Amino acid sequence: MVNLGKKVIYQIYPKSFYDSNGDGIGDIPGIIKKLDYIKKLNVDMIWFNPFFVSPQHDNGYDIADYYKIDPRFGTMADFDELVAKLKKINVGVMLDMVFNHCSTDNEWFQKALAGDKKYQKFFYLRKAKADGSLPTNWQSKFGGPAWAKFGDTDYYYLHLYDPTQADLDWHNPELRKAVYKVVNFWRSKGIQGFRFDVINVTGKAQKLVDSTGPDQEKSLYTDTPVVHKYLKEMNANTFGKDPNSITVGEMSSTTIKNSIEYSKPSEHELSMVFNFHHLKVDYKNGEKWTKTPFDFMKLKELFTQWQEKMDQGGGWNALFWNNHDQPIALNRFGDPGKYRIKSAEMLATAIHLMRGTPYIYMGEELGMVNPDYSSMKDYVDVESLNAFKELKKKGMTAKEAFEIIQTKSRDNSRTPMHWDASKYAGFSKVKPWLMPKKQDKINVQEELRHGEIFNYYQKLIKLRKNEPLVSDGHIKMFLKNDPQILAYERFLENKNDKLLVFTNFYGKKHIVQLPEKYQNKHVQVIISNYKQTNLSLNERLTLRPYEALAVKIS
């Protein structure tokens, strides 16, 4: 059984990591060329976003062939070489499995279009209502209705995402077998890590009905009881046969109760879950495409609930601030200008010392920030382009709509990795698919020579591997009403030692009133992003701007 508490996972967006052949797109040979850097990171596993054959309408999350590497990323031989070389440096591979939907270019969908009844049952095909309207009033998450015409038939097919991403019907045992076959193919190549994209929206009902509004609509296809049945079955037929497998489910709008069941070892479903509630605290009235400061007290409340209740229920969290679908956390919760370094380190401390398995998104360890593009022409993300049109339709000026895109676009995190300060950031010799920005100040070369963020991440990773309070400890939040500080205690059963973690989420000094039980104890500083001299825990503790401090008390 894997000790998930000792693991740290690094996420690489292959399209943006390193371009080895001068076509402006990152590729697998490019990742191989950067193995020295990956070795320096000291992580245990790399989650790769999809590099399977795809028309790239949604950056590879529209898979046309689950068994083949897209030629723009390399060959199967390149992939095998990457896996073998990563194994030599003790780094595992986690592949991204997209099974809620497939590309309309996929053989399954194409056979269905051609009239093959077997494959038509792989999809949600429904006729229009008697009045000629769409089968249901559901909306796509990328904007517009969630139904599109199925060729020249009387049917429509369901697509919760882009029209080129047709939802797969998991009620069909033949579809499920086909999905498990894909997982087992990659297992046969030695892969023991799998990330399952939006896996908890696979549980739609057989009879699809109209919704009464956006929130109720989600409940019709999200976190339904049948998802647990599917996951148990997939576990038994695929990765559950590997004692060293590590799996994570991306769970859209999930609940703690469901997430405990998804990730509790005795349930035999997944190793852990991604939830996104903490990344919605800068959504005005729950709407992503808005611009508003983050709600710190809400953030604290969510961390408290998810950390404490998942611990009490025996579930396991994937810990993260950043990924390919999120604008950069440093811009959202830190200060990318005046306190870029300190706030990057503070944010890292806040989650790396929590209970769970931390994920680092490429560039995060350099303190990379949003690119702040100057025009809509700079963006390529389908969701952002659709949102810009929708915001203008709602009456916003182009300037107002653009400012929101700048803040919330997924392209913010998809910019190429900054290797050096050159024109294309050392990522490519030609103009990349997405332009790098601010590489003159933030890049690998500069960070490894003179920076402190990368080294700070190294200290956090070392702590997770060597300190049982971090890897195995329980968690309890304190200072719950403090308007500026997120603080928690890590503790082990029947042990006196405790780890206290303090993180100041603002650029101003703050004095905290320490609970009496933590006062006048023997103190050992475990990690801090400021120099600590003669620290003692008395009645009051002063934290500097964006300070992170972890101390062991006994």
In the set 27, 96, 250, 547, the catalytic residue is 250
- Any catalytic annotation for residue 250? yes
pLDDT tens for each residue of 490-508: 999 989 999 999 999 999 9
Q: Which two tokens stand for residue 411?
A: 């392209």
d(CA 376, CA 185): 41
Residues of the chain with pLDDT under 70: none
What is the DSSP pairing of strand 92-97 with strand 45-48?
A: parallel
pLDDT at 532: 87
What is the DSSP pairing of strand 65-69 with strand 147-149?
A: unpaired
Of 321, 317, 318, 316, the C-alpha closest to 331 is 321
- For the chain, the average pLDDT equals 97
pLDDT at 93: 98
Backbone angles phi, psi at 538, to 5 degrees: -105, -150
The residues pairing with 252 across neighbouring beta strands, listed in sequence order, are: none
Which H or E run contains 87?
Answer: helix 76-88
d(CA 410, CA 60): 14
Domains and their CATH numbers in the chain = 4-102+179-376+417-460 (3.20.20.80), 107-167 (3.90.400.10), 473-553 (2.60.40.1180)
pLDDT at 8: 98
In the set 197, 223, 261, 383, the catalytic residue is 197
pLDDT tens for each residue of 124-170: 999 999 999 999 999 999 889 999 999 999 999 999 999 999 999 99
